[in-house]
Amino acid sequence: MNKLYFVAIFLLGILSMIGMSVSAENATQKVFQGSPVINSPVIVGNYPSTPFLFYIPTSGERPMKWSAVKLPKGLNLDTETGIISGTVTAKGDYTVTLKAKNTQGVCERKLIIRIGDELLLTPPMGWNSWNTFGRHLTEELVLQTADAMIANGMRDLGYSYINIDDFWQLPERGIDGHLQIDRTKFPRGIKYVADYLHERGFKLGIYSDAADRTCGGVCGSYGYEEVDAKDFASWGVDLLKYDYCNAPAGRVEAMERYAKMGKALRATNRSIVFSICEWGQREPWKWAKQVGGQLWRVSGDIGDVWYRDANHIGGLRGILNILEINAPLGEYAGPAGWNDPDMLVVGIGGKSMSIGYESEGCNQEQYNSHFILWCMMASPLLCGNDVRNMNDSTLHVLLDAGLIAINQDVLGRQAERSIRSDYYDIWVKPLADGRKAIACFNRMSSPQTVVLNDKTVAGLAFEQIYSLDNRLMQNNGDSKELIVKLAPYQCKAYIFGKTK
Ligand code: GLA
């Protein structure tokens, strides 16, 4: 009996391992199958006379060969790797025709390279160390993350930033006046990591704080903005997340501290994105752009949790709570300035070394909805899970090209909520081609039915309804209604209207 039991458990273990790895390949395999598709973004911004770097995210079978027509002077494309790099001095919009070719076919797509005063013309996509690893980040983790994002298809869906959060630095500033890298974690320094990422078409993000100490209690940048900004630039940093722990409460002081760092970053010889992280307490959506920010947190930290009631003791917010905070802020978001409802928790599954202590995890439907809603809200898509070890369900969510295209739509509009009933929401995001992305979202633990018609969303073109992969789903004829059935916590998205 005992023996049989162990044999059964052993076999089950093997089966589930095979099952996991076979299915874990599926979402990734989809990325690397068939003829080429050049994915978003299709517009990128960079400052003049600063290094430009862009990997052309492309799905399709490998090997792949890229080419580009009308690249501005100063830029080169490596046709084997798909990485465009160089420096452009003259401001302007450069429309480049990109081509990707494999044995299955060819794909052509226009890319606008805007050399000017704006960065992040579409929401940033990438990964950040905090939500899963907290203080336990290392060079090895960051490099392995980059390798994993190439192998699992994330890089080809547009994920480009790899962001180191708190705890890369030592508690004390060096006697030379510079921030000190924690060499037990980053033995070869930050520049080594940046070079590794850039060679693979990724960008590197780093973290500091507008006070003497960061939230984790290591050294911050207050009073050393120029020194630190120059160091970041010399290492090859592409984004700075600037936190606000241990800093004065007032809005004016906050604006001053952020403006100082914003100016210092802008004065470097790099295009460094400035991510403002004061948790929405001083309404940064009203002033963050003014101080040089391209994105600003609207809330306290996200937990790997669906909902927290108001009486909950502790810092972390649920996905639903943050949704409510971000919902009314749509008018402030747009190209080069995004509301940031915090990093994704998709796939963390309660396994976090930083936020895990008070986060129980979410179910798969909740993670799906979290991703769809963040896409609809034109939110940054910064994954917070361990992307080196993902199951297929998580990969399916993070590699959803249709949803990502909605997130990266060049119009850059945050979805507005047209209906908030006691049980469900309807969200509407106008797209650049004149169509509308619609999401029906069930907030409840029981099934719901949502009716889309002129009463719930005004002015929808019902004749043509598309699934997110742009397949015509329904030719509705004369009917001016769509009935959407939703499972508990489910969110379903569509595109309404004709392509021009
Ligand atoms: C704050 C931020 C988080 C994270 C931690 C690091 O809480 O809001 O996103 O950066 O600090 O200590």
Which one, of 63, 47, 44, lies nearest residue 110 by Cα? 44
What is the per-residue pLDDT for 449?
Answer: 97
Question: Helix 139-151 to helix 189-199 angle, to the nearest 10 degrees?
Answer: 10
- DSSP-derived pairing of the beta strands 239-243 and 203-209: parallel
Which one, of 97, 96, 62, 94, lies nearest residue 81 by Cα? 62
Residues of the chain with pLDDT below 50 are 1, 5-24
Distance, CA of 288 to CA of 258 (rounded, Å)? 8
Q: Determine the distance separating the centroid of ligand 1 and the alpha carbon of 301, expressed in angstroms.
A: 7
What is the per-residue pLDDT for 310?
Answer: 72
Residues with CB under 6 A from ligand 1: 130, 165-166, 214-216, 243, 277, 279, 301
Nearest residue (CA) to ligand 1, atom 1: 215
Pocket-testing residue among 167, 215, 245, 278, ligand 1, by greatest number of atoms within 8 A of Cβ: 215
Catalytic pick among 156, 228, 231, 301: 301
CA 211 to chain centroid, in Å, comes to: 26
What is the per-residue pLDDT for 21?
Answer: 43
Distance, CA of 493 to CA of 328 (rounded, Å)? 20
Q: Which residue has the tokens 């078409």?
A: 201
Report helix, strand or coil for 300.
Answer: coil
Amino acid at 259: A
| Closest atom of ligand 1 relative to the 315 alpha carbon | 7
| Closest atom of ligand 1 relative to the 215 alpha carbon | 12
DSSP string for residues in 124-189: -EEEESHHHHTT---HHHHHHHHHHHHHTSTGGGT--EEE--SSSB-SS--TTSS--B-TTT-TTH
Distance, CA of 60 to CA of 73 (rounded, Å)? 29
What is the per-residue pLDDT for 178?
Answer: 98
What is the per-residue pLDDT for 1?
Answer: 42
DSSP string for residues in 438-500: EEEEE-SSS-EEEEESTTTSTT--TTEEE-TTS-EEEE-TT---EEEEE-TT-EEEEEES---
Contact present, 406 and 415 (Cβ < 8 Å): no
Could you tell me which residues are beta bridge partners of residue 89?
Answer: none
Distance, CA of 93 to CA of 96 (rounded, Å)? 10
Pocket-testing residue among 163, 166, 343, 352, ligand 1, by greatest number of atoms within 8 A of Cβ: 166
What is the per-residue pLDDT for 462?
Answer: 86
What is the per-residue pLDDT for 16?
Answer: 45
Q: In Å, how far are 90, 99, 122, 127, 330 from 414, measured between CA atoms?
A: 31, 30, 11, 21, 5
The verdict on whether omega for the bond into residue 41 sits within 30 degrees of 0, i.e. cis, is: yes
Contact present, 125 and 381 (Cβ < 8 Å): yes
Q: Give per-residue pLDDT as tens, 164-216.
A: 999 999 999 999 999 999 999 999 999 999 999 999 999 999 999 999 999 99
Q: What domains appear along the chain, each with residue ranges and CATH number?
A: 37-115 (2.60.40.10), 125-407 (3.20.20.70), 416-496 (2.60.40.1180)
Pocket-testing residue among 127, 130, 240, 344, ligand 1, by greatest number of atoms within 8 A of Cβ: 130
- DSSP-derived pairing of the beta strands 161-163 and 381-383: unpaired
Distance, CA of 488 to CA of 142 (rounded, Å)? 36
301 is catalytic: yes
Q: In Å, how far are 234, 295, 327, 334, 440 from 428, measured between CA atoms?
A: 43, 22, 11, 15, 9
Contact present, 440 and 424 (Cβ < 8 Å): yes
What is the per-residue pLDDT for 312?
Answer: 74
Token output for 336: 């080069």
Which residues make Cβ contacts (< 8 Å) with residue 175, sequence separation at least 6?
A: none
The number of C-alpha atoms within 13 Å of 354 and in the hemisphere containing its C-beta is: 24
Q: Determine the distance separating the centroid of ligand 1 and the alpha carbon of 276, expressed in angstroms.
A: 11
Distance, CA of 41 to CA of 338 (rounded, Å)? 15
What is the per-residue pLDDT for 467?
Answer: 84
Segment (H or E) for 24: helix 2-31
What is the per-residue pLDDT for 18?
Answer: 41
Rounded to 5 degrees, φ, ψ at 265 are: -65, -40
